[in-house]
Amino acid sequence: MALGKDDLDFLRAMHRKLADVPLHPDDPLREPIHEVLDDADPVQLMQREVEFNDVESLQLFSGFRGAGKSTELLRLKRDLEAQGYLVLYADAMNYVNPAEPVDISDMILVLAGAFSDTLAEHPDMQTDIARETFWDRFKNWVAKTEVRLTGIDTKVEYKSPGQAVLGGVTAGLNIKAELKTASSFRQDLQKFLSAHLVALKNEADLFIEDGIKAVRAKHGPDKQVVFIFDSLEQLRGSFQTWESVIRSVEQLFSVHIERLRLPYVHAIYAVPPWLKFVLPTEQHMEILPTVHLWDNAPERPRSAKAWSVFRAVLRRRLDDDGIARLFGPTGLATDGPIDRLIGACGGHVRDLLRLTQELLKRTTSLPVTQQALDSTINAARRDFLPIALDDAQWLGEIAQTRDTGLRSVDHRSVERLSNFLDTHRVIYFVNGSAWYDVHPLIRDEIDRVLAQETERATK
């Protein structure tokens, strides 16, 4: 039956419910996936790390695109607050440019600045901390080192008479904003601060310690503070800057890792997942895996519990009446329409939501037809294509071995594997141990490309 106005209104309403946004942990649309599944819950592991360290700690957390990392960090924030911690949450993209290399001096500045901003904004602290922000204190510190800054907030005029570091330039700048650019000021500031790195770290630490004193003056001497710095995983560079960005981030979290500790603070950094391949083995990193819809066996047997959880994801979004109207009586049946969408998403909730939204756009009658389902899944498959021969060879090896096939951690190889993971051609799972596989939508195409090459080579 053709769609009437009521049907179109229904489809629009369902489309809105499928919006891909980080959900608060108590949002009724959120399905508690990692709490329900048997695998070790990464949020619980991070919470234990905080609880088992009395004074301070440092953790690295990541997740590949679409795994739900930000939603899980919000769950961690809620759970820690329920245990009495004061949790500060900042988005790194408000402070850094994801396409530019990040120097250790940049990171010290933005960590202290973000700590300052979030502490000042915290509802339990707004009237209890000193008026001076870290940006104010930084200006004053720079002034003591013969670079004069004037103005209010982070608006500054800087002069450097006789100092080659800043070249004698005078300009009105906003320090926080300039840290997100590739400006000459930022580059000059990096050079200047590299010669004063120890002093800069001391100033940042002193400010953070003063913030902790303010927290404990109000909440008691045992109050613990957690600082979550989200979105650093977006540091991936552009086509031109990828290699320099990956080198800078690698340096930050290997060579300079101790400088990223914050005094009397439990720091949690959401970092790029490709760091896993280049970090020293002693540096642990918690990674949010993709849900394994199949088990790590040659025939890829279906993981019944994972499929049940993914059906529940759509039931929460669409409700039973919506599912019945959209998919008909067989919507939630095994191998029914919803299972076809789940089978095509590769274990990513984000992709399941997008597939379902795409299906709604292609629906011309209710319940949805097989043709609309086929069209939706074929369109998703085309997004992965074409697959070049050298990619097919690597992907074929991953499909067979369930490992990365990474023979070197040179930047070019890491970039290529990272691209596979970011685009979901390759998927990272944890099922007892960590393993990898290729996306189900491209398995046949990989086999076709490899068979075609074998045929060509034998002629």
Segment 156-212, tens digit of pLDDT: 444 443 243 333 333 334 777 777 876 677 777 787 788 889 999 999 999 999 999
Residue 32 belongs to some domain of the structure: no
Please check whether residues 132 and 224 belong to one and the same domain.
Answer: yes
Please check whether residues 312 and 264 belong to one and the same domain.
Answer: no
Name the pLDDT band for 371 (thresholds 50, 70, 90): very high
Name the pLDDT band for 38 (thresholds 50, 70, 90): low
- Looking at residue 320, its amino acid is D
Residue 152 belongs to some domain of the structure: yes
Domain boundary among 288, 323, 355: 288
State residue 332's pLDDT score: 87
Name the pLDDT band for 152 (thresholds 50, 70, 90): very low
Residue 190 belongs to some domain of the structure: yes
Please check whether residues 310 and 329 belong to one and the same domain.
Answer: yes
Please check whether residues 225 and 283 belong to one and the same domain.
Answer: yes
Cβ within 8 Å of residue 386, ≥6 positions away:
none
State residue 128's pLDDT score: 52
Residue 352 belongs to some domain of the structure: yes
Residue 439 belongs to some domain of the structure: yes
Please check whether residues 249 and 343 belong to one and the same domain.
Answer: no
Residue 30 belongs to some domain of the structure: no
Q: Where are the beta strands (DSSP E) in 92-212?
A: 148-150, 155-159, 172-174
The answer on pLDDT for 115 being more than 80 is yes
Please check whether residues 204 and 346 belong to one and the same domain.
Answer: no
Distance CA 370, CA 262 (A): 56
The closest alpha carbon to 331, from 274, 294, 369, belongs to: 369
Please check whether residues 78 and 209 belong to one and the same domain.
Answer: yes
Domain boundary among 382, 403, 431: 382
Residue 101 belongs to some domain of the structure: yes
Cβ within 8 Å of residue 26, ≥6 positions away:
78
Domain boundary among 235, 253, 288: 288
Handedness of CA 18, 21, 27, 31 (dihedral sign): positive
Cβ within 8 Å of residue 340, ≥6 positions away:
373, 377
Number of compact structural domains in the chain: 3
Please check whether residues 132 and 257 belong to one and the same domain.
Answer: yes
State residue 63's pLDDT score: 87
CA distances from 261 to 70, 215, 252, 253 (A): 22, 18, 12, 11
Please check whether residues 310 and 435 belong to one and the same domain.
Answer: no
Please check whether residues 137 and 53 belong to one and the same domain.
Answer: yes
Please check whether residues 367 and 271 belong to one and the same domain.
Answer: no
Please check whether residues 280 and 161 belong to one and the same domain.
Answer: yes
Q: Which domain holds residue 403?
A: 389-458
State residue 178's pLDDT score: 76
Residue 139 belongs to some domain of the structure: yes
